[in-house]
């Protein structure tokens, strides 16, 4: 697997977007965000993960598929958290939480277990949720065994 960058614009309805294995039957719609998931800005399942955003509009998302954990300059990011996910089909949908899975943008990856790093940058450019801003939601994925969630840098509300 070589480094692969995918860019998407997704409507972050309810301040969130989702990565889901195309064959997953998991549904997080009935799961409430608790204090921990709010702090992490992340709600993971087995083959699905819901990411919190700072705006309830179309937001830019970058998904980097890499071979190993990336080298990151943490000063450039306002929030960073790691989690694990299983993409058993190798087809990953990127979508807003209210979008229709068959119509969602998709990316192909090698099936298996992945570690993900979710980072938010540009929060200081947000004046209110509906005005244009330079916030960016970045996800890195690399093959890895399951490990617990690890909050690296928490967004200061």
Residue 120 three-state SS: strand
pLDDT for res 1: 44
Q: Which CATH number fits domain 4-26+34-153: 3.90.1170.50, 2.60.34.30, 2.40.50.100, 3.40.47.10?
A: 2.60.34.30
The DSSP code for 103 is G
Q: How many residues does this entry show for the chain? A: 157
pLDDT for res 99: 87
pTM of the complete model: 0.93
Residue 108 three-state SS: strand
What is the DSSP code string of 61-83? EEEEE-SSPPP--GGG-SEEEEE
pLDDT for res 28: 66
pLDDT for res 98: 85
Segments in the chain below pLDDT 70: 1-3, 28-31
- Please tell me the distance from the alpha carbon of residue 137 to that of residue 42, in angstroms, as a whole number: 12
pLDDT for res 31: 66
- Please tell me the distance from the alpha carbon of residue 155 to that of residue 157, in angstroms, as a whole number: 6
pLDDT for res 3: 66
pLDDT for res 130: 85
């Amino acid at each position: 697997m070589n480094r692969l960058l995918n860019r998407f614009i997704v409507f972050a309805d309810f301040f969130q977007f989702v990565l889901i294995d195309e064959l997953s039957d998991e549904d997080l719609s009935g799961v409430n965000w608790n204090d921990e998931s709010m702090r992490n800005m992340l709600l993971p399942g087995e083959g699905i993960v819901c990411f919190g955003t700072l705006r309830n509009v179309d937001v830019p998302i970058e998904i980097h598929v890499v071979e190993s954990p990336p080298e990151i300059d943490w000063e450039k990011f306002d929030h960073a958290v790691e989690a694990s996910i299983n993409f058993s089909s190798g087809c990953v949908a990127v979508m807003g939480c209210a979008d229709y899975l068959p119509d969602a943008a998709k990316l192909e990856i090698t099936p298996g277990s992945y570690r993900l790093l979710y980072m938010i940058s540009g929060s200081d450019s947000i004046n209110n949720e509906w005005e244009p801003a330079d916030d960016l939601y970045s996800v890195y994925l690399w093959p890895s065994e399951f490990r617990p969630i690890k909050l690296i840098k928490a967004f200061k509300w």
